[in-house]
Structure 1
Amino acid sequence: MEEKLVSLKDVTFKYDGQDRNAVDGVSFDVSKGEWLAIVGHNGSGKSTLAKLLNGLQFPGFGSILIGDMELSEETVWDVRKKVGMVFQNPDNQFVGTTVQDDVAFGLENLGVQQQMMVKRVQDALNKVKMNEFLDQEPHHLSGGQKQRVAIAGVLALQPDIIILDEATSMLDPRGREEVLDTVRELKEEKILTVISITHDLEEAAKADRIIVLNQGRLYREGTPDEIFHLEDELVGLGLDIPFSVKLSKSLREKGVDLAGSHLTEEELVKDLCALNSRI
């Protein structure tokens, strides 16, 4: 039986002065080792949901359980030991003068012993392949490298769950792929349960499951393949289908013998190469 790490039940939140709920009766679970992507257009409630999951806001109604703890103002600091968050702009998270100082910052605040701190910093940077940049100044790094250091800072704290709040939206394609590859590897090693908040369906295609939000409500839920079959509905919500899915559909409509949709360009290229070898 899958272990539930996160459970939301009828979660509702409204900002002061707003007419409608930013999050409106949302319920879902996240299992240990799962990668869940939460997608939606601007104003759909996904960023508010990220803040609720990390205790930056608290529900006006409903409950959020992290493990066996209900998130509240009394438990928020204990919950944050289990949940790490990587934000949109990594520069806003940097506080150290070097990469290793920055990754160590959270551990220093927790009073971790020096010997253990050094080991955890090195382990975290090894996991994100940034161990050769220990003494580099963070602002000299590329966008993708900065975001990997931000992830290392979270990993060093050894959380059960990592939340990516639009964490790749400011990166170029190469930097985005670097970060997503890192997250995928960590997830496959069973180190992390991942919740990614994004408007980018190409990023969401990497996840095990997708939740679509619309006007604060859970609109659809399913695997990436199931969600991308709702192409017209998603476009109507202001979301853009991944290029590989659109191209795969167009090729099939023109008579190219391809089976199913292709969630990534790599999948599509592989099938096209296999098709070419049979011709």
Structure 2
Amino acid sequence: MNTIVISIKGVSYQYPEQESLALNNVSLDVYKGEWLAIVGHNGSGKSTLAKMLNGLHYPSKGTVMIGGYALNEENVWSIREKLGMVFQNPDNQFVGTTVQDDVAFGLENNGVEHGVMQERVFASLEKVGMTAFLNQEPHHLSGGQKQRVAIAGVIALRPDIILLDEATSMLDPLGREEVMNTVRELNEKEGLTVISITHDLEEAAKADRVIVLNEGRLYTEGTPQSIFQLDRELLNLGLGVPFAVQMSQLLADAGLQLSQRHFNEEELVSELWTLNFKM
């Protein structure tokens, strides 16, 4: 992961109606094949950054390079071929009457030949485990299924980078797990670079690297393990620490010797079962 696919240098952005900067001198790089989570409370600048990466905003200062293109009005459509975006509410993305029609929509707009289009639609739905729903109406699907179809529509266009903008925030725990497992598989098997914009640190725990934004600035960055050690700082920033992290710390404070601080509940429960059998 040493090839830079996105480079953000000294970027600032200010909305016309606001006095303060939404982004203030932010610099970061995104590497090919990594899963990067960008977290922050409401107003931290993460949504502004997501819109900028999709070419909906342009920097007031600084530069953004995506897939070798400088972000500007001339290059925005080339950049959108490199970076696909999955939004918060999948219902707002659906335009087709069936699942396969919806996935095909972007390909039709790009003038992809019909036979190639059919192959890509099926292949992308197969990657997200939704081939059994080809002829279903998207609005009859569960929340997790809808987002998997939305992801299929993005990867059918074969971008190098997929951006999830609070893509699991409206889902129940099962739907959230479905989507995150799908994204992890695409990241590991397809080498797809993933950027997850989220306020959910349980989602961020699945990433390779986490960046924390606060008041438009880059507050800190590191692995999930290093970030979650800042539990009190995160709480002061308005970010909730994952339940498994909190419970691991409470058990350690109570004298239970755990092998490590756990970041998901499955690992924590597994170790507790192991310790129970040893007692």
Same fold (TM over 0.5): yes
SS in 1 for 2:263: coil
Mapped partners of 1:18, 1:219: distance in 2: 21
Which residue of structure 2 lines up, in the alignment, with residue 187 of structure 1?
187
2:53 equivalent to 1:53: yes
Mapped partners of 2:123, 2:117: distance in 1: 10
Query: What is the RMSD computed on CA atoms of the aligned residues?
Result: 0.8
SS in 1 for 2:162: strand
Normalised by the size of structure 1, how large is the TM-score?
0.98
Which residue of structure 2 lines up, in the alignment, with residue 87 of structure 1?
87
Matches within 5 A, 1:27-42: 27-42=27-42
Normalised by the size of structure 2, how large is the TM-score?
0.98
SS in 1 for 2:116: helix
Mapped partners of 1:18, 1:260: distance in 2: 44
CA offset at residue 266 of structure 1? Answer: 1.4
Mapped partners of 1:28, 1:8: distance in 2: 5
CA offset at residue 68 of structure 1? Answer: 1.6
Which residue of structure 2 lines up, in the alignment, with residue 260 of structure 1?
260
Question: For residues 19-46 of structure 1, what are the alpha-carbon distances to aligned partners after superposition, in whole Å with 9 as ceiling and x for unaligned?
Answer: 1110111111111110000000000000
Mapped partners of 1:28, 1:105: distance in 2: 33
Which residue of structure 2 lines up, in the alignment, with residue 276 of structure 1?
276
Unaligned runs of at least 5 residues, structure 2: none
Question: For residues 126-161 of structure 1, what are the alpha-carbon distances to aligned partners after superposition, in whole Å with 9 as ceiling and x for unaligned?
Answer: 000000000000000000000000000001000000
Which residue of structure 1 lines up, in the alignment, with residue 226 of structure 2?
226
SS in 2 for 1:81: helix
Which AA in structure 1 matches 2:235? V
CA offset at residue 259 of structure 1? Answer: 2.3
CA offset at residue 191 of structure 1? Answer: 3.4
SS in 1 for 2:149: helix
Matches within 5 A, 1:127-166: 127-166=127-166
Which AA in structure 1 matches 2:173? P
Matches within 5 A, 1:234-249: 234-249=234-249
CA offset at residue 276 of structure 1? Answer: 2.3
2:76 equivalent to 1:76: yes
**Residues matched between the structures, number:** 279
CA offset at residue 272 of structure 1? Answer: 1.5
SS in 2 for 1:191: coil
Which AA in structure 2 matches 1:4? I
- How many percent identity over aligned positions? 66
Mapped partners of 1:187, 1:267: distance in 2: 21
Which residue of structure 1 lines up, in the alignment, with residue 98 of structure 2?
98
Deviating beyond 3 angstroms after TM superposition, the runs of 4 or more aligned structure 1 residues are none
CA offset at residue 188 of structure 1? Answer: 0.7
CA offset at residue 271 of structure 1? Answer: 1.7
Mapped partners of 2:190, 2:10: distance in 1: 29
Which AA in structure 2 matches 1:6? I
SS in 2 for 1:277: helix
Which AA in structure 2 matches 1:77? W
Question: For residues 187-219 of structure 1, what are the alpha-carbon distances to aligned partners after superposition, in whole Å with 9 as ceiling and x for unaligned?
Answer: 011331000000000000010010000000000
